[in-house]
Chain A
Amino acid sequence: MTPRTITELAAALRDGSATPRTLLSAALAHVDRTEKDLNAYLAVTRELGYAQADAAAHMLEEHPDMASPLCGIPMALKDVLCVDGIDTTAGSKILRGFKPPYTSTAVQRLFDAGAVCVGKTNCDEFAMGSSTENSAYGPVGNPWDIERVPGGSSGGSAATVAAGSVPYSLGSDTGGSIRQPAALTGVVGFKPTYGRISRYGLIAFASSLDQIGPFTRTVEDCALVYAAIAGHDPRDSTSDPRAVDDPLASLHAGVEGMRLGIPREYLGEGTEPGVRDAVQAAFRVLEAQGATLQEVSLPSTDVALSVYYIIAPAECSSNLARYDGVRFGSRVERPSLTDMYLQTRGAGFGNEVKRRVMLGTYALSSGYYDAYYRQAQKVRTLVSQEFEAVFKEVDAIVCPTSPSVAFPMGSHDDPLSMYMCDVVTLPANLAGIPGISVPCGFVDGLPVGLQVIAPRFEDARVMRVAHAYEQATGFHAQLSPYASAAA
């Protein structure tokens, strides 16, 4: 059988052709077969999964009509999401052995809906990276070519959906960490509006930019997962109290009459020709669906990357201060406190994390704050204003998700070239607006993603455009070799 979507599996659970246990067993078996190639998981939560599968079976039996479409469906969680009693490492050695005594709000909402957890997925350490090569636990193979990276930082969550082990997973996106790996692995990846999904229980990288979101095979599945996790949480003061628009209600509304903007700056020199061709073909598909496409301009795009690499490290330098060896995680024993701090953090953090902690500490230092952090905040406001201005002209923006397709492991050893991977995704984080990546073709057998961006709280509109595109094409139905092998 081919890997199926949430919608298909939910139907199978209701017509008796599958049970939560058979779905979980199949997922676990698939993970067992593929892990040596993919290394997508940092922990497989077999015990938790079976307990949840049995609870889900009960829910389906008792209230088959009331049960959520997610009830009994296996899924995976990026290892930055805390689950009560389950090892949570954020891809870092410094958190080895840490078992949080609580579950993150977004995950709890899925569990309450009857979700079945297969495991915790591999990622760049503390979500810092664009290739998942910064994980302390080894890189993740891209299911389309295991010599290549799956993107990052949520590489494990992307790979496991692309490999067909699970129909969906959760990731986190601070500068593109959901959308870029989705593009590079040929799945759907969605970063909702900042404040839509509670960050409670998400191990923070950069608090003002982090947002949880789903990886799925289809936009409809994406809407299902989003609807289950979105909404206000009193435990996250940055979560928004306004009601969530049901994305399923407008999912099939199409793009007829919609105005879509193509930012001139997003198809610049750095974009690979193959990616440009695929995305431009996608534009024509949307036009054929009745949308009007026009060029727009976001002039601050070139400085957005610099702004991002000041604000994100500044926040991370503070967020990561708690990993001090005093209360949890790993500790290097030393007779003096200062030495203990230095050795623990020196041994526990990888190079990219150290680099960003240093960058951020510098940017916030007395005498440099005004030139870096304060200036970056001003430009961040400018980036938001430019989006607002563009959204007066168009309903949504369409553009590439990543300037390149999946690249070979080890090819981006210069940090700056890695940072360039996020040049078209991170502006949406700076502005707090929603963005989705949907498969839009292949270059030499490697997936390309189309990104759709909309104004704040227009999450449903993002999914509506992506769905219209997806339904007009068949790229989402093309399977990676690991997924086809499951057939």
Chain B
Amino acid sequence: MTETATLAAAVDRYEVVIGLEVHAQLLTRSKMFCPCPADYTSAAPNENTCPVCLGLPGVLPTINQQAVDFTVRTALALHCDIPPFTKFDRKNYFYPDLPKGYQISQYDLPLSVNGLLEFPVAGESVRCGITRVHLEEDTGTMHHAGDVLQSATSSLIDLNRCGVPLMEIVGEPDLRTPEAAREYLVRLRQILTYIGVNDGNLEKGSFRCDANISLRPRGAHELGVKVEVKNMNSFRAVQRALESEIERQTGVLDAGGTLVQETRGWVEAQGRTISQRSKEQAHDYRYFPEPDLPPLRLDAAFVERVRATLPELPEARAHRFQQQYGLTAYDAAVLTDTRDEADTYEALVAAGVPAKLAANWQSGDVAALANEHHVPLQHSGLGIDGLTSLLRLVEAGTINGPTAKELLAELYVSGGNPEALVRERGLAQVSDTAELSALVDAAIAANPAAAADFRAGKQQALGQLMRAVKEATGGKADMPLVNRLLRERLSEQ
């Protein structure tokens, strides 16, 4: 049986229950509890540290207000309730990347609860509850001389990442397929990047996902034994890991076995999960209220001030694009994929580029160039203003499509003024009827066989005549006009 077939068979007998936990680093300037820069990637190891994030004796944490604002912003974007009273707790465990021996996190009174995320899966809308969004601090990173710490001969610790604000977003076990899990993450990441709180980078780990998955026989009410899957650093890996886990769990259940509650790690290269820690080996984190930080009181006025900073969210914006600009659902979704993309589109339209023309070019050639050069339009040589000028020339009929495409590709890299270039290089479209009529006559005369074929009903023969006229103008001919003139002339007897 193929992998898909196995999966389909499993899903026939078992209901899959998936809940996701996402850890997202906040794009604050400084760390969660100290003034060190939160940017840990561009600094030399242990450069962005201070007595507080190093956990030296006697130092105390202070709360980063921006991190609280960002978490509230996230909670609002995810339709969460924000209780008026929240507090921090200590999660105690020993590990060398955790200098204090505890992580400051939130336990029983998180910053927000009871949210909702809605997203499309294969054209259907799926709703997943958000249990909570809370705030904590990231750990440092370790570089082992060996695969794992236990067998390493030595290990180096970099505490630049230690204390970076981290938001934990816990989803309800409302997801039923690996694909839905993937789409949940796609939409969640989209929202977080839209509201400017996270950069959504799975590979670098600024957006991380753990998945809880269990299977139960169809119709059963009680949940099956839950397995937590970790180490997935792409959307694809999440989907594959869950698919692999469904197969493994199905195999165990079908063989009459019992599953154990455990933590498993996804091994990308082997395409399977391996056991990391059983329930018995689980830590007792001994949570208790952080005595160094007084509880936070978030009053309604504060929450409303944060709400006022929320931008239009992707779903609403896509809906508006359809209404306002007459775009298809697909185009609207593509053009609102990121906030930059949507802002670019609205800038083009506001500058007078017709909505449909802007949509076609932005999601077509411009997107392809951005992909090819790994540079978004706004940082390209052309920029949004340059693209506006170029599309105005297309709209005015000053240049034809092929010329515009060539110019776009060139200017995207090197920059320049499209209008000036069109003048300098004489790229303006030849759309003079008299001039083109003469060239049409010449083309027919030079290609009598093609002309005869067309007259005999062979439509394809027109192509050769079109090319001949195009070449005669150096590619600048107004081709729809050439097409019309050729047809007119050839239909004359």
Determine the chain B residues whose CB is within 8 A of the CB of A80 once the complex forms: 58
Is the CB–CB distance between B291 and A235 below 8 Å? no
Alpha-carbon distance between A110 and B247 when the two chains are bound, in angstroms: 68
Chain-B contact segment, one of A275-283, A358-366, A392-400, A417-425:
A358-366
Interface hits, A36-60 → B, CB 8 Å:
none
Cβ–Cβ contact B284 & A208, under 8 A: no
- 272-322 of chain B: CB within 8 A of chain A: 284, 286-288, 291-294
B286 touches A366 (CB 8 A): yes
In the complex, the answer to whether A361 meets B286 with C-beta atoms within 8 Å is: yes
Q: How far is the CA of A206 from the CA of B288 in the complex (A)?
A: 13
Which of A204, A324, A327 has a CB less than 8 Å from the CB of B58?
A204
Report how far A478 CA is from B284 CA in the complex, Å: 54
**Contact, CB under 8 Å: B288 / A101:** no
Residues of A close to B325: CB separation below 8 A = none
B101 touches A318 (CB 8 A): yes
Known: A237-B293, A326-B99. A321 touches B92 (CB 8 A): yes
Query: Is there contact, CB below 8 Å, between A327 and B55?
Result: yes
Tell me whether A366 and B94 are in contact (CB under 8 A): no
- The segment from A24-32, A177-185, A195-203 that touches chain B is A195-203
B10 at interface, CB cutoff 8 A? no
Give chain B's interface secondary structure class: loop
**Please, how many angstroms separate the alpha-carbon atoms of A88 and B59 in the complex?**
13
B58 touches A373 (CB 8 A): no
Within 8 Å CB of A100, what residues of B? 51, 56-58
Known: A235-B60, A235-B62, A327-B99. A366 touches B284 (CB 8 A): yes
Chain B positions within 8 Å of A326 at CB level = 96, 99, 157
B94–A321 CB distance below 8 A:
yes
How far in angstroms is the closest Cβ of chain B from A337? 6
* Contact present for A98 and B294 (CB under 8 Å): no
Chain B residues with CB under 8 Å of A236's CB are 60
Check A336 for interface membership: any CB of B closer than 8 A: yes
A321 touches B100 (CB 8 A): yes
Contacts of A369 in B (CB 8 A): 286-288
Q: Which residues of A from 302 to 343 have beta carbons under 8 Å from B?
A: 314-315, 317-318, 320-324, 326-328, 336-337, 341
Q: Does B375 contact A (CB under 8 A)?
A: no
Asked whether, in the complex, the Cβ of B90 is within 8 Å of the Cβ of A318, the reply is yes
- Minimal Cβ-Cβ distance residue in A for B100: A322
Q: Is B166 an interface residue (CB 8 A)?
A: no
Kindly state the separation between the CA atoms of A236 and B294 in the bound complex, as whole angstroms: 10
Query: With the chains together, A88 CA to B58 CA distance in Å?
Result: 11
List the B residue with the shortest CB-CB distance to A374.
B288
Q: Are B62 and A234 in contact (CB under 8 A)?
A: yes
B346 to chain A, nearest CB (A): 42
Residue of B58, B102, B293 near A200 (CB, 8 A) is: B58
Whether the Cβ atoms of B56 and A101 lie closer than 8 Å is yes
CB proximity of A237 to chain B, nearest CB, Å? 5
Task: Kindly state the separation between the CA atoms of A369 and B285 in the bound complex, as whole angstroms.
Answer: 11
A98 contact set on B, CB distance < 8 A = 57
> With a CB–CB cut-off of 8 A, which chain B residues contact A235?
60, 62
In the bound complex, how far is the Cα of B58 from the Cα of A90, in angstroms? 10
**Is A289 on the interface with B (CB-CB < 8 A)?**
no
B54, B57, B102 — which one has the most chain A CB atoms within 10 A of its CB?
B57
On whether the beta carbons of B284 and A237 are closer than 8 Å, the reply is no
Q: Is B371 an interface residue when CB atoms closer than 8 A count as contact? A: no
Separation of A369 and B92 alpha carbons in the complex (Å): 14
| Residue of A207, A323, A328, A365 touching B286 (CB-CB under 8 A) | A365
Let me know if A34 is at the binding interface, CB within 8 A: no
Q: Is A95 an interface residue (CB 8 A)?
A: yes
- With A100-B51, A100-B56, A365-B284 as contacts: A337 and B149 at CB distance below 8 Å: yes
Contact B99 A322 (CB under 8 A): yes
Tell me if A104 is interfacial: C-beta within 8 Å of chain B: yes
Identify the interface centre among B51, B55, B58, B92: most chain A CB within 10 Å of its CB: B58
Interfacial residues of chain B within 59-79, with CB under 8 A of chain A in the complex:
59-63
Q: Which residues of A contact B59 (CB under 8 A)?
A: 102, 200-201
Beyond A318-B102, A364-B92, whether A238 also contacts B54 by CB under 8 A is no
Q: Which residues of A contact B2 (CB under 8 A)?
A: none
Q: Is A222 an interface residue (CB 8 A)?
A: no
Partner of A82, one of B58, B90, B149: B58
What would 7 A/B residue contacts be, using CB atoms closer than 8 Å? A100-B57, A207-B291, A235-B60, A237-B292, A317-B92, A322-B55, A337-B150
Residues of chain A having any CB pair with chain B under 8 Å: 80-82, 88, 90, 95, 98, 100-102, 104, 199-204, 206-208, 234-238, 314-315, 317-318, 320-324, 326-328, 336-337, 341, 361, 364-366, 369, 373
- Would you list the 3 A-B pairs with minimal beta carbon distance, nearest first? A321-B101, A207-B291, A364-B286
Q: A100-B57, A327-B56 are known contacts; what are 11 more A-B pairs with Cβ within 8 Å?
A: A82-B58, A199-B58, A200-B60, A207-B291, A238-B293, A315-B291, A318-B90, A321-B94, A322-B99, A327-B99, A364-B286
